[in-house]
Structures are given as C-alpha cells and as structure tokens.
Structure 1
Amino acid sequence: MSITSDTTVGALATLHPLATRVFARHGIDYCCGGGQSLSAVCDERGLDLTGVLAEIEAALAERTVEEVHWGERPLSELIDHILVTYHEPLREELPRIEEMVRKVHAVHGDKDRPCFDGLLRTFLAIKADIEQHLPKEEQILFPTIKAGQGAMAMGPMHVMEMEHETLGGMLREVRSLTNDFTLPEGACNTWRALWAALEDLETSLHEHIHLENNVLHPRAREQ
C-alpha cells in the first residue's frame, strides 16, 4: 500500500503499525479518528503534511523487528493480546495515576485552578468509564467473537464504539488542559511523572481502541 495524503490514519496504523509512533508524537488520534485522511488530520492540527509523511517513511525504514499485522492473525489471538497488553495493565495503572492527579491537584491546584480542577474531574471520568467498559468487553463481546458469532454482536460493538468515542473526547480534553503535556518551569517530580503517565496513557489507549475499532470489530462483523 502506497502512502498518500488521502490515506486514512486508521488504515495506516493497521497496515504500518510503526506509523503510530509518529501519530503519538503529534497527538494524532488514529483510533476514534481513524477514518480521517492524513491530509485532513494535518490541517486540523496545523501540521506540515510533507514533514509528517517524511517522518512516517523514516519510521518504516527503521524497522528492526517484524511487525505484527493483527489484521491477519486469528481473532482469538488478537483478543488475548488486547487483554494482556491493555486491559490488565489499565487495572494497575489507573489507580496509580489517580493518586498522582490528586497529589498534584492538592499541592499545585492554586497555581492554575481551572486546569487542575478540570484535570481531576476529567481523569476521574476517564477512570470510571474504563472501569465499567472493560467488563462489558470481557464478559459479553469478546466471548461472543471467540465463539465465532461476531455477526450476532453488532449491537454490543456499536455500543463499545460509542463509548470509545466518548473516551477519545476526554483524552483530547486532557491534552488540551495540559497544553500538549507541556511542563511549566520548576515543575516538581510528581508533576513531571504525572504528565508522562498521562501521555503514556493516551498513547496506550489510542493503540488499544484502534485495534478494536479498526481491526477486531470489522473482522468480527464478517464472521
């Protein structure tokens, strides 16, 4: 597949997983926003299209390990990968990040009350949404797909994708509140660790949702 300005970011992420490193660097949403063309995304974020294309080509040229193309692997294997790589770590990481958010809010909240109040409120909403979302997939959707009955799960997949869209909006709010995770001068170590953890969370959730929205669900609908 040749990469052009009209290629959607979701297709790029599916066929060339290394391109997601470039997307993460520029805050490009390739999961819920996967249907947008590379040109449209660059226009929206004020990015130089030629430069982004060059970065993607450079990333693909630096392959050191064989990429896993999940569009070609068995669906049961993909589901197991999602559970181990994303679901299990989220259950450990979300409480850790909440502790940091609360600490930074308590210590530094007066420095920028709208930012820190908004960040605490938005992160708690993200955590609550994820905690009620994961069991739905694990107990209903994933077993149905593993049983080869994905075509019978159109409704649950639609609901999951709507919840993904809501989560994507909250991730964008976090990026906005943190000014693209830009640290102010003199930020303490906990503040630095929090910004890094939130950026890592965004990257992981983009990868996670992309695999479900753009790979797992379309293939399951054809079962």
Structure 2
Amino acid sequence: MNQFTDKHTPAEIVKIFPKASDFFKERRIDFCCGGNKPLENVFKEKSLDGNTVLAELNSLYEEWSKEDHEVKDWDSVPPSELIDHIVHTHHAYLEQELTPLGQFVTKIYRVHGANHPHLQELYHLYNEFKVEMEEHSIKEEQEVFPLIKEYEKNPSEELLEKIRIANGGLEDDHDAVGELLKRMRVITDDFTPPADACNSYRITYARLAEMEADTFQHIHLENNVLFKNLA
C-alpha cells in the first residue's frame, strides 16, 4: 500500500482516500478550491508539523484500507455520468437545503444576535453563499454542462474553447464560495454552538457543517475531476 507524502496534493489524496476530506477539514486544509498545491507548500503556509500530519493521515489510511470499500474512480467515469451525479446529488441537495437552512440562520440571528454579534456576519455570509450557489447551479445546468455533454459526443477544439471560457468563471465562483465557507467556519468556532445554545442554534450549526461538507465534495468533483479532465 502506497503511503502519502508531502509531494501529494490534498485533491489527489481525497480521490484515493475519500475519508481524508474530514481529516483535512478538521485542520483547515483546502482539498477543493485550492486543493492542487502539494502538502509541503500547505504545511509551510499554515506552519503545520508536516511529519505529524502525514503520520496521522497515513495511519488513518492504513486502517481505512483494511475495511471493505468500493471507491468510485471518478476519473474513469464519462463526463456525462459525473455531471448527472453532480446534478442529482449536489444540486438537488442545495435546492432542498438552501432556503430552509437560511430560515434557521435568520431565526438565530433575530433571537440571539444582540448577545452573539457574530450571528450578523453569519447571516450576511450565508445569504451571499446562497445567492452564489443558486446562480452557479443554474449557469452549470443551462450553459456549461450541456456544452460538456455535447463535447463528449462530438469533440472539437471550438467547443473545448467555449467550455474553457465558461469554466474559468465557474472556478472563480468556486474560490469565492470556498472563502465564504472558510469565514463561516472561523466565526462559528468550527460550527461549535455556545454552551447555552438553544436547539435551533445547534441545528443551524450542524446543518451548516453538513452543507460545508457537501459543497466541498461538490467543488472537488468539478475542479479536480470534471474540469481538470477536459483541460
């Protein structure tokens, strides 16, 4: 079994070892938007002890590898199949979750904002995130994904150039969304509710953490598999 080194990128590691996404999130190591930097660079930027992080990561990978896992090799899947997965899994999740979660964010800001001032910033960040993701999903489904499916059937340099131009905007969107999520995590102390938090407060933070996880996986599949394989 190969071990991971500081020459690997977080994106490469998550493709092989999906559970590493949780490990990286705990350490605020980006595996989606900025996931193509070698770990040695990440360790320097974040002043992390690389040997300790790699030892933990490889230990987790060794344990995980002993279990029976069927890991989807997204690199070998046709683009159209990956697109359908993204739409039916991640876009569908956003469509169902963005509005009701927004109501919870608004509720805790209204009720607890006076005593917990960071909830005002959370309210603004979440609503910016919501608009970004809604517009982003529409653009993908109406413009970019149909181009990629057409390219799969009838490849041409002209079509590829159209896709590259459209993807440039989408990857910028991904970076912006990634920064919003990072800021939300910082101001909520890693989505840890205060000791005296009410049930709505706890539910809101739990659902925000779940949305972050889903969004990071969503962006990872687009940036590091779908778009990369067309480059």
TM-score for the superposition, normalised by structure 2? 0.88
Q: Distance in 2 between matches of 1:177 and 1:146?
A: 40
Structure 1 ranges of 4+ moved more than 3 A: 42-48
* 1:166 aligned onto 2:146: no
Asked whether the 8 Å contact 2:33–2:223 carries over to 1, the reply is yes
Give the distance between the partners of 1:201 and 1:81, measured in 2 at CA: 17
Unaligned residue ranges in structure 2 (runs of 5+): none
- Secondary structure at the aligned position of 1:110 is classed as coil
5+ residue gaps, structure 1, are none
* 2:132 paired residue number: 129
Deviations for 1:28-84, whole angstroms, at most 9, x for unmatched residues? 221111122223334444544333323322333324321111011111111111111
What does 1:120-199 align with in structure 2 at a 5 Å threshold? 120-147=123-150, 148=152, 149=155, 151-152=160-161, 153-199=163-209
What secondary structure does 1:36 align onto? coil
Cα distance change on mapping 1:93 and 1:154 into 2, 3 Å: same
Q: Provide the C-alpha distance between the structure 1 equivalents of 2:104 and 2:59, rounded to a whole number of angstroms.
A: 36
- CA drift of 1:198 comes to 0.9
Count, aligned residues: 220
- Percent identity, aligned pairs only, is 35
Q: Which range is displaced more, 83-92 or 49-58?
A: 49-58
- Superposition RMSD on alpha carbons, in Å? 1.7
- TM-score by length of structure 1 reads 0.91
| Separation in structure 2 between the aligned mates of residue 97 and residue 49 of structure 1, nearest angstrom | 37
Once residues 77 and 60 of structure 2 are traced to their aligned partners in structure 1, the CA distance between those partners, rounded to angstroms, is 23
Equivalent residue number for residue 120 of structure 2: 117
Q: Which has the higher contact order (CA 8 A, sep 6+)?
A: 1
